[in-house]
Amino acid sequence: MEIAGCTAFVTGGASGIGLAIARALLREGARVAIADISQDWLDEAVAELGGETVGVRLDVADRSGWAAARETIEHRLGPVDILVNNAGIGPDLKPLADTDPAYFDRMVSIKLTGTFNGVHTFVPGMRERRRGHVVNTASMAGLIASARLGPYTAAKFAVVGLSEVLRAELADFGVGVSVLCPGLTATRLMETSARAGVDQPPGNPARTSPQSGIDPAVVGELVIDGIRHNRSHIVTHAEYADAASRRFEPILAAFDRVPVRNPDTLPGSAGSAQRKPKP
């Protein structure tokens, strides 16, 4: 997709990965609007980005806020061609059985419901115009499960699935979809989470020094490549490839233990995924 001349909207755009994506989009010639729940960070980011950048204060869990954001952005910059659902909060590192239900609900409302709210608000227009691209930020935790990341992983896995479904649904309408799965990145995630009321215990990855995470600018450039080439999955850390492969080994092995019963009903084509059960 050609980015120059497009209108782009980035949530969680006042810092970290979101701000890096906004910078990259501006360099490519897009008109950019950013949203954040923090007004002071939003003001700082808009001042830095300059030009005609539009800032919108938004809690992505608030559907009425999305409607107001669309009205503001379309009035100032025109219809949104590129939507980046990036807003999120960090993990609290508690065992899943000990997780505060309020934290679980907040995580889902921001990351999963917030992503859906963006899709619901802007994708119908893209589909009608037969033009656009959606980037949904998940995480490497959306591909690989780890202990003590229960609500975080659940929401990120859900965003990966939502994105894959959306990609399949929009393929015939000229609208691309990518899911971004970054590893550890130098961001303000700890501060963002604290402002959202999430307790940040010692040892939380969100407290890690910036030197141990990659530069968000690297992520921004990978997202530009993903939009331009309509890549289904955008990852940032090649060293996780083996872990991702190991995750799928038991899943594929489970298929080997049972016969293919109705090959004509399999997704894709008649019998396209026929795996012979191993003895």
Which of 152, 176, 186, 222 is labelled catalytic?
152
What the block records as the tokens of 270 is 């008649």
Query: When comparing pLDDT for 50 and 264, which is higher?
Result: 50
Query: When comparing pLDDT for 192 and 30, which is higher?
Result: 30
Distance CA(11)–CA(39), nearest Å, equals: 13
Checking if the pLDDT of 272 tops 80, the result is no
| CB neighbours of residue 145 within 10 Å | 14
For the chain, percent of residues with pLDDT exceeding 70 = 86
pLDDT in tens, 68-85: 999 999 999 999 999 999
Instruction: Categorize the per-residue pLDDT at 218 as very low, low, confident or very high, splitting at 50, 70 and 90.
Output: very high
pLDDT in tens, 14-24: 999 999 999 99
Instruction: Categorize the per-residue pLDDT at 110 as very low, low, confident or very high, splitting at 50, 70 and 90.
Output: very high
Comparing 53-57, 110-114, 203-207, 247-251, the range with the smallest average pLDDT is 203-207
Average pLDDT over residues 93-99: 97
Note the pLDDT of residue 51.
87
Buried b (16+ CB within 10 A) or exposed e, 193-230: beebebebeeebbbeeeeeebbebbbbbbbbbebbeee
Distance CA(154)–CA(152), nearest Å, equals: 6
Among 3.30.70.270, 3.40.50.720, 2.40.128.20, 1.20.1740.10, what is the CATH number of 7-236? 3.40.50.720
Strands 132-137 and 54-57, by their bridges, are unpaired
Every domain range in the chain assigned CATH 3.40.50.720: 7-236
The mean of the pLDDT values for the chain is: 90
Query: When comparing pLDDT for 172 and 271, which is higher?
Result: 172
On whether the CB atoms of residues 109 and 87 are closer than 8 A, the answer is no
Average pLDDT over residues 22-49: 98
152 is catalytic: yes
